[in-house]
Chains A and B, each alone.
Chain A
Amino acid sequence: MISIDGKQIKLQIWDTAGQESFRSITRSYYRGAAGALLVYDITRRETFEHLASWLEDARQHANPNMTIMLIGNKADLSHRRAVTTEEGEQFAKEHGLVFLETSAKTALNVEEAFINTARAIHGKIASGAFDVSNESYGIKVGYGAGGAGAAPGTVRPGEPAPQQSSSCCS
């Protein structure tokens, strides 16, 4: 439950960790997801290289308005870094993603990752990009939000977070 612009937003988060091998399952998570965190491990280059296929998967199976955050995790292990921050930024820019480097170990930017995602979704709702009455966008309006013209109170972005790093998800 987080608060953005005074609106209570409940995030429902799905973690696909442990089942990356089963794309049919992860794909079922995309449906009805309003946002996604695409996570790679900055110390393992191959995880960065897999991003494109995950992104394609998400784009293909999720609704086009889904907010996707690109997360470079394990930022605490900078001495073992295999992917530079610039590369991450570049990739995000190319694909229109929001980029953050995080560390699950030190909690660096973890909150921000979710809050920024929620904020971006909220922005899309406010701008009308999401039809909140259509649940396939992954958003449900809470009962408590029934006040006059109140913005949606409950957002339920499914969060497929293809965890390609080991530490934060297990």
Chain B
Amino acid sequence: MEGPVLREGMLCTDQEVLPGGLSREGSMCERPRPGLAIALGAAVRDDWVGGRGAGGPPSFPLREASFNEKEEGEEQEAPPAELEDEYEGVCAGGGSSEEYSDVEDAGSHNTEVVYVKEGVCMFPSPKQRIMGRLSLIKQYRCLFLCWLPYAAGASPLEDSFSTGGTNGSSNGAAAAGGDAHGGGVESAKDRTMYAVHPIPLSDVRAISKHTPPLGQHRITITLASGVSLPSLHFQTGGVKAFLSCLRQHAPLVRSADDPNTWLVNDTGDPLQRSLCSLELTDVLIGGPPTGASSTFPPFAGPLAAGRWQAAEGEAGLRAQLGELIDRFQQLTQTAKDTASSLFAGSVLLGTAGAPEACLNNGLAPASNHTAGLAAAAEGSLGLEERRRSSLEASTSLGVFELIEGSAAEAAGSSPAWTRARPPPLTLAELNTFFDAEGRLTNPTAFRQRVHDGGVEPEARPEAWKLLLGVHAPGATRVERAAAAAERRRRYQAMRAQWRAMDGEQMAHCSKWRERCTRIDKDVRRTDRSHRFYARERGQAGTMLRNILLTYERFNQDLGYVQGMSDLASPLLYVMRGAVPTAGQLSNDEALGVEAEAFWAFKALMDRMEANFSSDSRAMTAQLLALRSLVQLLDPPLYAHLEARECLSFFFCYRWLLIWMKREFAFEEVLRLWEALWAGVPGLHLYLCVAVLEHHRRQILSSDWAFDDMLRFCVELSGKLKLEPLLRDAELLASYAGPAESAKGAAPDPSPLLAAAHDAGTAPSQQAMSAPAVEVTPAAAAPAPASDGAAAADAEKASAEVAQAVAKAASKHSSPTSSSSSDSDKAKAAAAAPAAAAAEEEVQQPTPAAAETAALQQDIGAAAEKLQQQEAPAAPAEEAPAAAEEAAPAPAAEEAAEEEKAAEPAAGAAAAQPAKQPSKQASRSGSKKKKGKGGRK
């Protein structure tokens, strides 16, 4: 599972990453110099507090002298920095923090060192290295960034210090905030020349991070003037921590052009800013599985590198997970509000046809509800009016501007989304994606097409092989045929391996026997109800068994784990579709089908295998991510679950484990997986959120303990409607996901499917092992730009995909896109009052508390919003509670509606709370074992 070989290879570095990306070994960096903190504080006071210090611009030699003084006195006693958590170092608690408090005592009460990182160095020239301390200082709510070199001689490694370092001197001068000084030849002066004296963050335009898998991580700071400072190297890692710390204090916006660059003072759309700060997809992106390299050759390097970071043990994992959660928690209220409003908007405007679309109506107070229905009934909500209401929403909430904007943009560029949903991709159309020699010319467009419309069964075998990467990127038709023959040969050989085992050998392989038993057992109960597998010990079952047994031999480290049969079954079914023969296949045909299904399964497992790892880290990480998403997008639901100790989200385990395989009908699963493979990273997580949101009324109106919740979720199986859920999941992903506008993402001329593959699908694969990789966006993002054109392509493609989804969202919200089903109208009706209310809110500034409360409204809380208009003085803290209280009231009404609408079974089943009269309970044949229902 862990790919030990690979990891060994990658681990030949002296660094051992600790929680938060810190290094245990500390490499060549030295101990902290507590004195510096004082000096730093002094520097800050001198320069920025004003009036406290020397008044005029302080001279560097002076400050340097003070450093030296401190150094001499304290260097010997300085505690080792290696194990010190940087945050500890920052705040109170650590040994060195006393110094900081000294600083604060001595200095201004308003000065706070919020971040310190030791051993950050600058390489003005290849031979030169200047060690220093990077810090962030907050003063009077202004953040200053500061890097000051240690005193000369402090680091023995700097003996090679050259006096001629001029490479960065001009930058260094700029870095010093324009302070004029004579860059002398003396080393002390030279090093101070590079010092980044506290510069207000407002003077910083951008921070780029470079986190090569093997080299040192570094950041480059670009000032507003356009000048870039020499890179700061984080010898012990911690770029991520730096950025996350920075993010707490300043809005960072990820650049649309370069995912490794954050714009510090982007004054653009605040919505976009807050969305960027979520960086949900980045958070959710994990490391690739072992063997990903074979599928994605261009990314073998960086991806493999991500892997060993992944494998840094529990402590690292926990810290990463912690950070993941932290990041969500650290979100500004604005971000949360925006996201919530967005989510509300998405549902208001986006879920055409969803049975729960009337949810908003249901939530609204009865009067509004009736009014809304009446409006819908009168048919008075024409397209124009609906458009107007969405525009109102845009102006009032400040939320829909993005939608409208990109809708306009999208109108020209992506005709696919001007339709509600294109028809599935046919074989004939699939062929248009190939050039004369059979190369896939535009993988991005192909994926988009699949994502939008799905694939006809006839085209599935080829389309899936392309999506999964079974077909090499850029291969011609002839090459693909040759590769298929080779795959067949290899599969046959591997299958022969276990078939050749004789009885005595078997007797010595207890593990193999055990897994055989398990596979036999599971094959018999996989998709039994589907006609393809219906016949016990029929050909399909045998083929599935062969595939699973062969995979067990192929990947003995992982072995067979339950759930794999669920993943293999649809693949076999689809690959079987490539052979026109009806009924029983000949042995030869069966071998061919098995081989293709096996390799498709192997490719899928490359993405999914982390799910099956015995340490269940990937699953834990996904459950945590899911929890965070819910917390972010639906605080009342989160609070509800929290109060009932349901935050483990284990009830979503099966959804995540096998990507909803058991939740939808077989044919729908095929469509679902296509969409997920071709969609944005982490889409399956958003899908889970969407499912919960679609049932939030039921959940909120019930007092379910964990097992009830589990039962509820298990019983949703087979009752879910795929398309509305998928659409909402995409909306969620597009709002919360990378908000890069991707304007510059030209259609990818390169036929490298892998590029698109990585951008579009691999991330979801990576998400599987979310804990693994550094949670930092950039590490997980396709690849550092420096890693080659392919990586750049991938980034573009990724951005393109993101954009496409955003377009989708906008299209959904635009009046032309959706059918005018009843629920749609009803929804629009619901949208109008909400929008109006929100506008009212803006026009008549309500007390701050009420405003906050109103902003806290989540998806279903449009009604509360209205209520709050009536009672604008409602304290902010009461808002979530109010939302919760209000929820149960219209529950019955809604339940009835839902039953009518589309989900009678779900409604009925779920509406039976655990606490009920035993007479009623007696009707449910409870003695019967749950059997399949309880599985996974």
Contact = CB atoms under 8 A, between A and B. Distances in A.
A156 B914 contact: yes
B926 A11 contact: yes
Interface string A130-167: 00000100001011110000000110101001000010
A25 B521 contact: no
A123 interface: no
B934 A140 contact: no
B921 A1 contact: yes
Interface string B888-931: 00000000000000000000000000111111011011111111
A20 B562 CA distance: 8
Interface in B854-870: none
A24 B650 contact: yes
A169 interface: yes
A52 B929 CA distance: 24
A15 B929 contact: yes
B352 interface: no
Contacts of A16: 934-935
Contacts of A114: 927
B926 to A, nearest CB: 5
Interface in A113-135: 114, 135
A19 B521 CA distance: 12
A15 B918 CA distance: 22
Contact of B936 (A11, A14, A22, A161): A22
Interface in B304-354: none
B524 interface: yes
A22 B931 CA distance: 17
A29 B707 contact: yes
Given A14-B707, A18-B562, A2 B927 contact: yes
Contact of B918 (A28, A31, A46, A143): A143
B931 A170 contact: yes
B70 interface: no
Nearest to B914: A140
A109 interface: no
B28 interface: no
Which of A2, A16, A21 has the most B CB atoms < 10 Å from its CB?
A21
Contacts of A145: 918
Contacts of B562: 18-22
B367 interface: no
Contacts of A11: 926-927
Nearest to A2: B927
B930 A15 contact: yes
B930 A144 contact: no
Interface in B209-252: none
B918 A153 contact: yes
B296 interface: no
Contact of B926 (A13, A32, A170): A13
A42 to B, nearest CB: 15
Nearest to A165: B521
Contacts of A15: 929-931, 933-935
B650 A28 contact: yes
B706 A1 contact: no
Contacts of A85: none
B918 A10 contact: yes
B59 interface: no
B710 A18 contact: no
B707 A158 contact: yes
A8 interface: yes
A144 B918 contact: yes
Interface residues of B, number: 46
B616 A24 contact: yes
A10 B562 CA distance: 30
A166 B474 CA distance: 46
A44 B513 CA distance: 11
B705 interface: yes
B918 A142 contact: yes
B653 interface: yes
B834 interface: no
Contacts of B371: none
B616 A8 contact: no
A17 interface: yes
B587 interface: no
Nearest to A18: B935
Which of B514, B705, B924, B934 has the most A CB atoms < 10 Å from its CB?
B934
A41 B916 CA distance: 37
Contacts of A2: 927
Interface string A21-51: 1101100110110000000000010100000
A85 to B, nearest CB: 23
A129 to B, nearest CB: 21
Contacts of B653: 22, 24-25
Nearest to B921: A10
A154 B921 contact: yes
B120 interface: no
A15 B931 CA distance: 6
A120 B595 CA distance: 53
A6 B915 CA distance: 20
A17 B921 contact: no
Contact of A12 (B657, B707, B918, B922): B707
Given A11-B927, A28-B648, A28-B650, A154 B918 contact: yes
B673 to A, nearest CB: 20
B705 A21 contact: no
B821 interface: no
Nearest to A41: B517
B922 A143 contact: no
Contacts of B836: none
B525 interface: yes
A170 B707 contact: no
Given A20-B562, A158-B707, A170 B525 contact: yes
B607 to A, nearest CB: 19
Given A8-B922, A170-B521, A22 B616 contact: yes
Given A10-B921, A11-B927, A166 B650 contact: no
Contacts of A143: 915-918
Given A31-B706, A170-B525, A1 B927 contact: yes
A17 B935 CA distance: 6
B646 to A, nearest CB: 10
Nearest to B521: A166
A143 B927 CA distance: 20
A136 B657 CA distance: 27
B612 to A, nearest CB: 8
A3 to B, nearest CB: 10
A1 B918 CA distance: 9
A32 B705 contact: yes
Given A21-B562, A169-B929, A170-B525, A142 B616 contact: no
A24 to B, nearest CB: 5
B177 to A, nearest CB: 53
B104 to A, nearest CB: 45
B619 interface: yes
25 contacts: A1-B918, A1-B921, A1-B922, A2-B927, A10-B921, A10-B922, A12-B926, A13-B934, A14-B930, A14-B934, A18-B935, A18-B936, A20-B562, A25-B936, A28-B648, A44-B517, A140-B914, A140-B915, A142-B917, A143-B915, A144-B918, A144-B919, A154-B918, A166-B521, A170-B525
Given A28-B706, A143-B916, 8 more contacts: A10-B926, A13-B934, A21-B612, A22-B562, A31-B706, A32-B707, A143-B918, A144-B919
Interface of B: 510, 514, 517, 520-522, 524-525, 561-563, 612, 614, 616, 619-620, 648, 650, 653, 657, 705-707, 710-711, 914-919, 921-922, 924-936
